[in-house]
Amino acid sequence: MTQSIAIIGGGIVGSTAAYYLSEFNKKDDLDITVFDHGVGQATKAAAGIISPWLSKRRNKSWYELAKDGATLLSSIAEKTNMSKDIYNQCGTIITRNKLEDISNLYDLAIERSNDTDTIGEIYKLTPDEVKRHIPIIDSNIPGLLVTGGARIKGDKYTDHLLKIAKNNGVSVVNKEITINEKANVVCDGEEIQFDKIILATGAWTKNVLAELPLEVDVRPQKGQLIELSINHINMSDEDMPVLMPEGESDFIPLGNGRLIVGASHENDKDFDLNPDSDVIDDLLNSATSLLPSLSAENLIRVKIGTRAYTSDFAPFFGEIPGYEKILVGSGLGSSGLTTGPLVGKILAEMATDNLSTDIDKYRKPIENYIKLIK
């Protein structure tokens, strides 16, 4: 008997879920449809850094999710032959003003390397060594190199996995949908029943579930980043490490003479997708503090997306209380490119009763974030 599965949202979670479901569908017993409206999607606007190992967040569940997410992402990239312009394990350099802080980060990295090989090698760098690795910057601060760190382009990642999924028989519908009071999908006024629904709508989760008696703890956060041309600098930047400088925005050299700087975190903008001049100025100032030859003339474009956050900044995923056929993953925040692939894989496994992982090590109770109103 064929099982019908809808995936709502084609971002980092939805595209990964679609990919894994298409891989599970060797017996053609799954009918999989992705509904992807795409407007404002955080993943499509994002170019991010995969380097969770030096985070000092106290949420141990989040760290386990991020650590294993980074490992899974590396595996997906290798298995699906992702090109370097999608995923590049180019290394991450974290800088600090004080040598003592670098030593503390080094100790933390060594400790956490005992739990994962994906972190790679770890090296303390002098200011001159930092500049040798990232010659475009003009900075005199020490750093720490983690060779397992990577950069990823969210839009190209989703396109890559959805292309594989479509080749494996997954349907993609580029339309906005709602979920009605019967917990069925409504598209263009037509009610469609599915055996399972994977809800991967990020910041829009509360809106999509508005007709159901649920209390949902998700809020939107605006993120803006800038893409700059660095063609005036005559050097190869394809495999240059990404930079996480203290007190400044992240630097992500993309190759082909392009540099991403960002992203911002704004909690009071709702779903606004218009660029803010003051934010763009701050990002440019951050860029010129490390690369003085840049100016506003190097600005190519501004990319804007809306992230999903919860009140305690923790992600949530699993079966929605009271609606066993709806699975949800949301609240990933600024670490979504790292944690999203693992959440998508887990939801695909749950939808097909194929779960082999103890997922409670990755999450707090889902009832903390989504509750049935009785």
Instruction: Give the count of domains, the chain.
Output: 2
Residue 198: inside a domain, yes or no? yes
CA 82 to chain centre: 16
Q: Check whether residue 283 and residue 234 sit in a common domain.
A: yes
Residue 61: inside a domain, yes or no? no
Q: Check whether residue 275 and residue 228 sit in a common domain.
A: yes
Residue 296: inside a domain, yes or no? yes
Looking at the chain, how many residues does it have?
374
Residue 49: inside a domain, yes or no? no
Q: Check whether residue 226 and residue 286 sit in a common domain.
A: yes
Residue 278: inside a domain, yes or no? yes
Q: Which of 257, 274, 309 is the last residue of a domain?
A: 309
Residue 15 structural domain: 3-44+155-218+312-372
Q: pLDDT per position in the chain (374 positions), as tens? A: 789 999 999 999 999 999 999 999 877 899 999 999 876 555 666 678 999 999 888 789 999 999 999 999 999 999 999 999 899 999 999 999 999 999 999 999 999 999 999 999 999 999 999 999 998 888 889 999 999 999 999 999 999 999 999 999 999 999 989 999 999 999 999 999 999 999 999 999 999 999 999 999 999 999 999 999 987 665 566 788 999 998 778 998 887 888 999 888 888 788 888 999 999 999 999 999 888 888 899 999 999 889 999 999 999 999 999 999 999 999 999 899 999 999 999 999 999 999 988 899 999 999 999 999 87
DSSP one-letter code for 240: P
Q: Which of 309, 341, 361 is the last residue of a domain?
A: 309
Query: If we measure between CA atoms, which residue out of 40, 326, 297 comes closest to residue 185?
Result: 326
Q: Check whether residue 117 and residue 258 sit in a common domain.
A: yes
CATH number of the domain to which 180 belongs: 3.50.50.60
Q: Which of 286, 309, 332 is the last residue of a domain?
A: 309
Q: Check whether residue 106 and residue 164 sit in a common domain.
A: no
Q: Check whether residue 201 and residue 235 sit in a common domain.
A: no
Which two structure tokens, joined as six digits, stand for 204?
């829009």
Q: Check whether residue 305 and residue 228 sit in a common domain.
A: yes
Question: Read out DSSP for 135-203?
Answer: TT------EEEETT-EEEEHHHHHHHHHHHHHHTT-EEE-S-EEE-TTS-EEETTEEE--SEEEE--GG
CATH number of the domain to which 287 belongs: 3.30.9.10
Residue 72: inside a domain, yes or no? no
